[in-house]
């Protein structure tokens, strides 16, 4: 499970899915306000997405992408 943070309010679950599909099969995306949790098919695909997307600027905001922690998922 990965955390994708610092999203604009205009971003949709489909936008996040499309962003992540470049790195592997997306099993699920759960969007909250300005952040999302996503699960890719396996850990290596998640690691690749993290390495390529963390710090990328999308819609004028720098993404924070990292492994999700259980505390974050309960928010």
Q: Could you tell me the CATH number of the domain that includes residue 51?
A: 3.30.70.330
Instruction: Specify if 75 maps to a domain.
Output: no
50 is in which domain, residue-wise?
2-63
Total structural domains within the chain: 1
Instruction: Specify if 74 maps to a domain.
Output: no
Instruction: Specify if 32 maps to a domain.
Output: yes
Instruction: Specify if 70 maps to a domain.
Output: no
pTM assigned to the model: 0.89
What pLDDT is attached to residue 74? 54
Instruction: Specify if 16 maps to a domain.
Output: yes
Question: pLDDT tens digits for 19-48?
Answer: 999 999 999 999 999 999 999 999 999 999
Question: pLDDT tens digits for 13-26?
Answer: 999 999 999 999 99
Instruction: Specify if 12 maps to a domain.
Output: yes
What CA–CA distance (Å, rounded) separates 17 from 64? 16
């Amino acid at each position: 499970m990965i955390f994708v943070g610092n999203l604009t309010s205009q971003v949709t679950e489909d936008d996040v899915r499309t962003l992540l599909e470049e790195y592997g099969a997306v099993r699920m995306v759960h969007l909250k306000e300005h952040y999302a949790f996503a699960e890719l098919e396996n850990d290596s695909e998640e690691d690749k997405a993290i390495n390529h997307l963390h710090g990328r600027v999308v819609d004028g905001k720098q993404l924070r992408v990292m492994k999700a922690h259980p505390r974050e998922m309960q928010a």
